[in-house]
């Protein structure tokens, strides 16, 4: 087990270093080929994963997630990274009845203020 993995500040520094590396457009030679279940069952990974939710680390991870994700070679053969899923948390507030407005920034903002007009 890494001596660093449990140290919050060092995890924060690792994220900072990874974010800087990702922002520089460097493709890491590291590969993450494990399944989600395998990663979740790895105690070291789970420990760091929990630390990623802590304040000051969480916003850095989330604001750099796209670059961080693309930095590593992974075993993802799924397509759950589509734009709809990324946006789904705010879709409830949109006008879901209007195919023309689906995904429109305007309807998202308007819906956030005035509520959705879902007819189902």
Partner 1 sequence: MTTKAGMTCSKLEQIFNTQAQAARDEGTSFAREVSYVDVVCDISLTRIPLDAKEISFRVLPSPENQAQLSDEVMFSLILAQGSLNSVYLDVPFDSTVEPSEILNTAESAGFGVNLIPPKTPALDSKELGMYCELLRAYGAEWLGSPQSNIRVAPIDAYIEYKLGVAAGLKPVSISTDQMITSLYTETLGMEAMDAVKVVLDEVILKHIGDDSAFEEQILTTAKAVILKDRQYMQARAKILTEGLDQRTPTPNLIRLVSAHTELSIPDAAGLLYELKRGIHTVLDKYLPGPKDKDGVMNSPRQAAFAKMIADMAVAAVGGKAQFDALWGEACASAQVADRINIDRGQVTPGPAATAVATALNTDTKTGALALIEAALVIGSLFEAGGAVEPAEVAEAKPTQSGIIAIG
Q: Rule CB under 8 A: say whether 69 interacts with partner 1.
A: yes
Phi and psi, residue 71, nearest 5°: -75, -30
Q: In the bound complex, what is the minimum distance in angstroms from residue 84's beta carbon to partner 1?
A: 4
Q: How many CB atoms lie within 10 A of CB 20?
A: 11
Q: Is 32 left (phi over 0), alpha (psi -120 to 50) or beta?
A: beta
Footprint of partner 1 on 4-43 (CB under 8 A): 4-11, 13-18, 20-21, 24, 26-30, 32, 34, 36, 39-40, 42
**Least CB distance to partner 1 at residue 58 (A):** 9
Continuous H helices in the chain? 8-23, 36-41, 43-51, 58-63, 65-71, 83-91, 105-114
Spell out the residues 6+ positions from residue 52 whose beta carbon is closer than 8 angstroms to its own: 11, 15, 58, 61
Q: How far is the CB of 3 from partner 1 (least distance, A)?
A: 5
Q: Under the criterion CB under 8 A, does residue 65 sit at the interface with partner 1?
A: yes
Judged by CB under 8 A, the chain residues 96 through 115 that form the site for partner 1 are: 96-100, 102-106, 109-110, 115
- What is the rounded CA–CA span in Å between residue 15 and residue 61? 7
83 binds partner 1 (CB under 8 A): yes
Interaction of residue 49 with partner 1, rule CB under 8 A: yes
Least separation in angstroms between CB 89 and partner 1: 6
């Amino acid at each position: 087990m890494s001596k660093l993995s449990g140290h919050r500040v060092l995890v924060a520094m690792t994220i900072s270093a990874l974010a800087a590396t990702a922002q520089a457009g460097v493709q890491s030679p590291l590969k993450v080929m494990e399944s989600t279940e395998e990663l979740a069952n790895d105690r070291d990974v789970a420990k760091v994963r929990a630390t990623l939710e802590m304040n000051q680390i969480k916003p850095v991870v989330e604001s750099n997630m796209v670059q961080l994700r693309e930095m590593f070679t992974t075993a993802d053969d799924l397509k759950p990274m589509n734009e709809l899923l990324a946006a789904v948390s705010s879709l409830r507030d949109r006008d879901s009845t209007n195919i023309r407005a689906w995904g429109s920034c305007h309807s998202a903002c308007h819906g956030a203020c005035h509520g959705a007009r879902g007819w189902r």
